[in-house]
Amino acid sequence: MSGYLDSRKLTNVKGRINYVTDKKRQENIVDYYNTTDDVFWKMLAKENQERHREVKAGGKCCEARELIIGIPQNSSITAEEICKDFKKKYNVECTCAIHQNNKKGIINRHCHLIFSEREKLKEPQITEERKATRTYYYDSKGNKCKKEDAVKVVKKGTVLQKRTIRYFSDKNDYFKSQKFIYDCKQFFLKEKLGIDWSFEMDQQNKELAEKHIGKNNPKEEYIRQNNNLKGTIKDVCKAGDYMFECEKGETLKRFKEDYNITSFVTSKYEENKGKVNTFVKEMQSIYKDRVKNEVRKHNDINEDINFLQETDYIFRPVQENIISTYENETQTREKPRVIDFLKNKIYHLLERIENLIHLQDFLHIERKNQIEIEENKRTHNLIIKDNDYYKKQERQKDDIDLEL
């Protein structure tokens, strides 16, 4: 859940605060902080309900808002830090509970940040009662009109506004905007939590987000097919970013440009399907070449290490040649230091090869076509086992049988 941030309306702010802070109903409350007290939230809920009734808005009243933010496991951020930073930035009261639960072996750490859309006034504002000084006539559009055209009549003396006491300002409409969400993501995810987030990445994730299938949706099958296609693209592009060692989202951008993809909407499913399938095959081919290239580099370095570790004087010219090859990188001609450098290099290569092997499911390579890496226990060189390897083994076996 790390890197996740979403907003929601709260129609019962007191009930929500009680729920997220109740140890009996939450698996594990790590931390909790409140910039104000319970009286504030009670007054806020009451005034929101009163104002909602006055304007006859209909529907349920929004008493406050909540941000749910995914927190990395290695983060030491506290609920107090989150609240104080949020209040300093937006000048509204808030409360925060950090939770951590474990679902099927996946640790989910996140916080519930509940905040007011209104600021508390320094002094209460009193609005006196206001009555109609004469009879008013309104048409169906709510405009004033002549008596004979009226569909609504407000008689003289009708109370237009009751005497009220306001303790809070008007709602800040900024909290309803998408710009506010992006601002929070930049502030919390990137600046406070150190998560690799950008507006461009967020847009790409939104573009490939799977569409919800409602109950009895006549287009259910088409939406499901398109969701599967989006899932494939996300997997393959994620693997591509690691494979090409480029920034997140770069492979998707390149794919859209190269294959002239404008969007991934359901109506373009058939058009995109063929392009995606071609792209997946292309990426699978590039992947296998990359793995073979990395294994070749590993084996070359491993052989250089083996040569450098030989003590027989006849290997001296070969060792001098190897040391010269790496001199620009090592800035030394001392054999032990060169060996240490190459061992470190081979360690990182092994780590990358191991990660590349794990990408095969993301690239949707069938199990029977997946490659395996095996180490020669004598030389420590790596051997790639794939369909080509097994076919070669079969040919060698056939040749031996013929000779026999």
Its pTM surpasses 0.85: no
Confidence of residue 391 (pLDDT cuts 50, 70, 90): low
For residue 167, is it within any domain?
no
Kindly state whether residues 339 and 213 are assigned to the same domain. Answer: no
- Name the residue among 365, 404, 356, 348 with its Cα closest to residue 384: 356
Q: Are 191 and 89 within 8 A, CB to CB?
A: no
Q: Is the pLDDT assigned to residue 400 strictly greater than 50?
A: no
DSSP 8-state secondary structure symbol assigned to residue 311: -
Kindly state whether residues 78 and 214 are assigned to the same domain. Answer: no
Confidence of residue 318 (pLDDT cuts 50, 70, 90): very high
| Mean pLDDT of all residues in 349-358 | 93
Which tens digits make up the pLDDT trace of 280-302? 999 999 999 999 999 999 999 99
Q: Which domain holds residue 106?
A: 5-125+172-196
Kindly state whether residues 74 and 11 are assigned to the same domain. Answer: yes
The CATH number linked to 111 is 3.30.930.30
Provide the b/e sequence for 249-267 (b: ≥16 CB within 10 Å): bebbeebbeeeebeebebe
Kindly state whether residues 238 and 362 are assigned to the same domain. Answer: no
Count of structural domains, the chain = 4
Q: Give CA angle at 63 (60, 64), nearest 5°.
A: 125
Confidence of residue 392 (pLDDT cuts 50, 70, 90): low
Kindly state whether residues 71 and 188 are assigned to the same domain. Answer: yes
| Mean pLDDT of all residues in 199-207 | 73
Kindly state whether residues 120 and 222 are assigned to the same domain. Answer: no
Confidence of residue 59 (pLDDT cuts 50, 70, 90): confident
Cα distances from 144 to residues 132, 135, 161, 250, in angstroms, run 14, 11, 19, 59
Place of tokens 């001199």: 327
Kindly state whether residues 182 and 260 are assigned to the same domain. Answer: no
Domain boundary pick from 253, 268, 285: 285
Residues above pLDDT 70, as percent of the chain:
92
Kindly state whether residues 137 and 99 are assigned to the same domain. Answer: no
Cα distances from 354 to residues 25, 285, 347, 361, 371, in angstroms, run 42, 18, 11, 13, 12
Kindly state whether residues 232 and 304 are assigned to the same domain. Answer: no
Kindly state whether residues 10 and 75 are assigned to the same domain. Answer: yes
Beta strands, E only, 76-207:
94-103, 106-115, 120-127, 130-131, 136-138, 152-154, 159-161, 164-168
| Mean pLDDT of all residues in 333-337 | 94
For residue 321, is it within any domain?
yes
**Please, is 236 exposed, middle or buried when counting C-beta atoms within 10 Å of its C-beta (0-12, 13-18, 19+)?**
buried
Which tens digits make up the pLDDT trace of 14-53? 999 999 999 888 878 999 999 999 999 999 999 999 888 8
Query: In angstroms, what is the C-alpha Rg of the chain?
Result: 33
Q: Is the pLDDT assigned to residue 230 strictly greater than 80?
A: yes
Kindly state whether residues 180 and 236 are assigned to the same domain. Answer: no
Domain boundary pick from 285, 306, 339: 285
Confidence of residue 402 (pLDDT cuts 50, 70, 90): very low
More confident residue, 171 or 2: 171
Kindly state whether residues 251 and 382 are assigned to the same domain. Answer: no
Residues contacting 237, CB < 8 A, separation 6+: 249, 251, 252, 255
Q: Are 97 and 111 within 8 A, CB to CB?
A: yes
